[in-house]
Amino acid sequence: MTFDEMTDRIATGQGFIAALDQSGGSTPKALRAYGIDDDTWSGEDEMFAQIHAMRSRIIESPCFGNGKVIGAILFEKTMDGTSGGKPVPARLKERGIVPFLKVDKGLEEERDGAQLMKPNPGLEQLCARARELGVFGTKMRSVIKANNPAGIKAAVRQQFAEGARILACGLVPILEPEYDITAADRAEGEAAMLEAIEEGLDALPEGQQVMLKLSIPATPGLYTALTRHPKVLRVVALSGGYSTDEACEHLARNPGMIASFSRGLLQDLRAQQGDADFDATLGAAIDRIHAASVA
């Protein structure tokens, strides 16, 4: 796929984006959920080899290339690896799936009810390498935990500032100011966050587009206007700790948003499953998430 073909696939595709980007501290937890205990690997290289084997098994599953998955977010080591005998981004595009790359370096300590992203001085170099490998866009996450105007504005402004760096590298950024779904003031805070996002979009130069990855809102339809905004290529939803069924139920109430789930996609997969069982389990999750995304 060319860049323009990938743009069209993301803008109009009837499907969802798979999040295969667990990294660092989240990898052992993801492996345990997959049925691989900590004592089966030793050191970071073996850990990442295990998670890459899981991701490659997903990518090569027949159901993953059935057209319902339109994009996949990768961890850097996954981008640099192979699947099906080819570089992962090339293999994904061969299967009709647009590759994205997680580029943030983790979170700062909480301040004003938000965790901003850590500094990322090597972002441009990483984006250049990703583009050479055929990656279309990026994803970066910060977390908002309370309806604090200072924290909300700081998180959203940082997302747009880093997004400008990524756009300058020729990639499309997914901005992800995640609002904690357990926050007691989520409805009010998400409304305040929406205002900050709209301010960021108004300041974005004409002709540029970003994507948004947001928690499924407490108020259904809150982000519908964003899904129609000319500077927004697509609005995707994170599962945020919901189970697959819960995430799909909430997502279906939000027209225009499509899924970008990790836990909601992978929660029932196990290393011990035979290929037929693995593919059937993954396929069932893909079908549920696809149905909620196009509802």
Select the more confidently predicted residue: 231 or 25.
231
Give percent of the chain above pLDDT 70: 100
Query: Residue-wise over 147-176: b if at least 16 C-beta within 10 A, else e?
Result: bbeebbbbbbbbbbebbbbbbebebbbbbb
pLDDT for res 24: 65
Does pLDDT of 295 surpass 90?
Answer: no
pLDDT for res 22: 77
Under 8 Å between Cβ of 166 and 173: yes
pLDDT for res 27: 86
Residues with catalytic roles: 176, 213
Residue 7, number of CB atoms within 10 A of its CB: 18
Query: Residue-wise over 29-59: b if at least 16 C-beta within 10 A, else e?
Result: ebbeebebeeeebeeeeebbebbbebbbbbb
pLDDT for res 130: 98
Does pLDDT of 210 surpass 80?
Answer: yes
Does pLDDT of 81 surpass 80?
Answer: yes
pLDDT for res 72: 98
